[in-house]
Amino acid sequence: MIIRNVELETVCGVTSRLPENTLPEFAFAGKSNVGKSSLINALMNRKALARTSAQPGKTQTINFYNINKELYYVDLPGYGYAKVSQTEKEKWGKMIENYLHKSKMLKCVFLLVDIRHEPSANDRTMYEWVVYNGFRPVIIATKLDKINRSQIQKQVKLIRNGLGMEKDDVIIPFSAASKQGREEIWALIGKMAAG
Ligand code: GTP
Ligand code: MG
What are the beta bridge partners of residue 74?
27, 64
In this prediction, residue 84 has a pLDDT band, given cuts at 50, 70 and 90, of confident
What does the longest C-alpha to C-alpha distance in the chain come to?
Answer: 46
Q: Could you tell me which of 132, 144, 133, 191 has the C-alpha nearest to residue 171?
A: 144
60 CA distance to ligand 2 middle (Å) = 8
Q: What is the pTM of this model?
A: 0.96
38 CA distance to ligand 1 middle (Å) = 5
Alpha helices in the chain (DSSP H): 36-44, 86-102, 121-132, 152-163, 182-194
Q: Which residues line ligand 1 (CB under 6 A)?
A: 30, 32-38, 52-54, 56-59, 77-78, 142-143, 145-146, 175-177
pLDDT at 122: 92
Q: Atom 28, ligand 1: which residue's CA is nearest?
A: 143
Whether residue 80 has pLDDT greater than 90? no
Which residues, 6+ apart, have CB-to-CB distance to 18 below 8 Å? Answer: 12, 62, 98, 99, 102, 103
pLDDT at 128: 93
Asked if residues 176 and 170 have their Cβ atoms less than 8 Å apart, the reply is: no
Asked if residues 69 and 152 have their Cβ atoms less than 8 Å apart, the reply is: no
In this prediction, residue 66 has a pLDDT band, given cuts at 50, 70 and 90, of very high
Whole-angstrom CA distances from 25 to 70, 120, 149 are 9, 26, 32
Residues 110-148 pLDDT 10s: 999 999 999 999 999 999 999 998 898 999 999 999 999
What are the beta bridge partners of residue 67?
6, 71
